[in-house]
């Protein structure tokens, strides 16, 4: 025989079974009551009387008015046993469902394929833009992110402060990669001898007022040294230049007028002897000093234009170059080749000058005259000739204090 306990009895029964049943069961049982056996009903009634400390069960829990709702408050989910809590797997999956989509272009709007896109932030990933320039990152948790985008031949770009909310999808503006400036490094290993040949070809076209040769002046302070065959080339070109013949002709004419070396006589024959002697002395000095000895001592026969400093320092430099030259090693040296060339040329002149003019005096007189002439010529080269010489850079012409 079954005993039916009403709603209030069900509430008391729930009170003692709460530790064993979930609140869903309690609510269910409170709504419809309980059916228990006679023995169970007696046990339940005894328990209720014991809990009420001897008072009737209805004194502790008055019957609610008809139609009134029970004041019973169900336990919060966090108070339930762990095995009865609802699963949060679905909400966790939602937090990992964020996505970012974007496109890489150039400044003209053309799509850039093959660009590397690095994602950093809550998680780090990388992707390569496709043929349509697009890239994507899916399954992202919420958080702050940034993108670093690089492409071949393009400047890198960065997209900072990308906020992704839970279960959010963001379509980013196009990431524009600018074309990187071309930077090409070319190392040219030129043959120094070929470079010296090119420089020499420019020098043999240098002429004062377009007429007088100015072969032995270098307006390039860092010019490459000359090889022996190039020293011979410049010496030979100077010896056969038409202006050289004109200069020697004028020198012989002045000697003819002053009746210098009277043993040569007068007239055409005397003039021819003087012309031949002067030309031989001029050419022998160049060949011996500027070619042969310059190759032996490894010295450069050219005058190197200074162009900087005060007037006095430049003048001292020009005068000193009559006894000092630049070696093939780039250092300043005593000009053995030119001085010894002038002495050798004077010694050779003793074989064809008139006998009464021969001797040691002829040798050293000629060497001294050539030394002074070189100092004066160098002053003209430093201060006057740059403004008058062809094939000279304009910045060099400006360094000449005298302009025409």
What's residue 25's pLDDT? 41
**CA distances in angstroms from 390 to 196, 394, 402, listed in the order given:** 19, 10, 16
What's residue 350's pLDDT? 92
Assign 3-state DSSP to the chain and report helix, strand, coil percentages, each to 5. Answer: 45, 20, 35
Higher pLDDT, residue 75 or 293: 293
Residues counted in the chain:
404
Q: What digits encode the pLDDT tens for the residues 333-380?
A: 999 999 999 999 999 999 999 998 899 988 999 899 999 999 999 999
Mean pLDDT for the stretch of residues 202-223:
92
> What is the C-alpha separation between 387 and 404, in angstroms, rounded?
7
What's residue 10's pLDDT? 43
Percent of the chain, pLDDT > 90? Answer: 54
pLDDT at 65 over 90: no
Range with lowest mean pLDDT among 32-36, 170-174, 387-391, 400-404 = 32-36
Residue 163 has, within 13 A of its CA and on its CB side, a CA count of 1
What's residue 249's pLDDT? 96
Q: Which residue has the tokens 């403004």?
A: 387
pLDDT band at 175, cuts 50/70/90? very high
Q: What are phi and psi of 368, to 5 degrees?
A: -65, -40
> What is the C-alpha separation between 210 and 304, in angstroms, rounded?
20
Mean pLDDT for the stretch of residues 187-213:
86
Nearest to 398 by CA among 324, 305, 315: 305
Those residues with Cβ within 8 angstroms of residue 177's Cβ, 6 or more apart along the chain or in another chain: 104, 105, 106, 112, 115, 149, 150, 151, 154, 155, 156, 157
> What is the C-alpha separation between 49 and 71, in angstroms, rounded?
22
H runs (alpha helix) in 331-359 = 336-349
Q: What digits encode the pLDDT tens for the residues 121-137?
A: 989 999 999 989 999 99
**Domains present along the chain, CATH in parentheses:** 2-84 (no CATH), 92-176 (2.60.40.10), 192-397 (no CATH)
Question: If 0-12 CB within 10 Å is exposed, 13-18 middle and 19+ buried, where does residue 47 land?
Answer: middle
pLDDT at 70 over 50: no
pLDDT band at 231, cuts 50/70/90? very high
Residue 145 CB coordination number (10 Å)? 23
Say which DSSP state 356 is in: G
What's residue 243's pLDDT? 94
pLDDT at 316 over 70: yes
What's residue 28's pLDDT? 40
């Amino acid at each position: 025989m079954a005993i039916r306990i009403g709603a209030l009895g069900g509430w008391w029964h729930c009170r003692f079974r709460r530790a064993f049943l979930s609140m869903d069961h309690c609510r269910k049982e409170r709504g419809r009551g309980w059916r228990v056996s006679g023995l169970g009903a007696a046990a339940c009634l005894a328990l209720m009387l014991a809990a009420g400390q001897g008072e009737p069960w209805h004194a502790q829990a008055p019957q609610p008015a008809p139609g009134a709702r029970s004041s019973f408050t169900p336990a919060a989910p966090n108070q339930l046993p762990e095995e009865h809590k609802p699963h949060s797997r679905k909400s966790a999956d939602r937090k990992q469902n964020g996505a970012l989509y974007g496109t890489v272009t150039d400044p003209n709007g053309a799509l850039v394929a093959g660009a590397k896109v690095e994602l950093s932030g809550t998680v780090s990933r990388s992707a390569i833009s496709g043929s349509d320039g697009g890239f994507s990152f899916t399954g992202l948790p919420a958080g702050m992110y940034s993108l670093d985008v690089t492409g071949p031949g393009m400047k890198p770009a960065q997209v900072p402060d990308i906020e992704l909310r839970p279960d959010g999808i963001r379509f980013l503006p196009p990431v524009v990669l600018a074309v990187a400036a071309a930077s090409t490094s070319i190392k040219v290993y030129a043959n120094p001898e070929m470079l010296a040949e090119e420089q020499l070809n420019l020098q043999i076209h240098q002429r004062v007022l377009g007429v007088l040769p100015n072969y032995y002046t270098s307006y390039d302070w860092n010019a490459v040294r000359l090889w022996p065959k190039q020293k011979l080339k410049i010496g030979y070109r100077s010896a056969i230049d038409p202006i050289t013949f004109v200069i020697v002709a004028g020198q012989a004419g002045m000697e003819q007028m002053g009746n210098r070396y009277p043993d040569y006589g007068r007239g055409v024959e005397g003039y021819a002897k003087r012309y031949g002697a002067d030309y031989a002395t001029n050419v022998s000095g160049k060949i011996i000093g500027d070619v042969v000895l310059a190759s032996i001592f490894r010295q450069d026969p050219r005058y190197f234009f200074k162009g900087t400093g005060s007037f006095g320092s430049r003048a001292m430099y020009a005068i000193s170059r009559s006894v000092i030259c630049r070696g093939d090693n780039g250092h300043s040296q005593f000009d053995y080749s030119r001085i010894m060339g002038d002495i050798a040329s004077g010694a050779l002149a003793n074989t064809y000058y008139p006998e009464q003019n021969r001797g040691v005096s002829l040798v050293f007189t000629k060497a001294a005259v050539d030394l002074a002439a070189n100092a004066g010529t160098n002053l003209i080269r430093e201060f006057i000739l740059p403004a008058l010489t062809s094939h000279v850079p304009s910045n060099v012409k400006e360094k000449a204090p005298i302009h025409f």
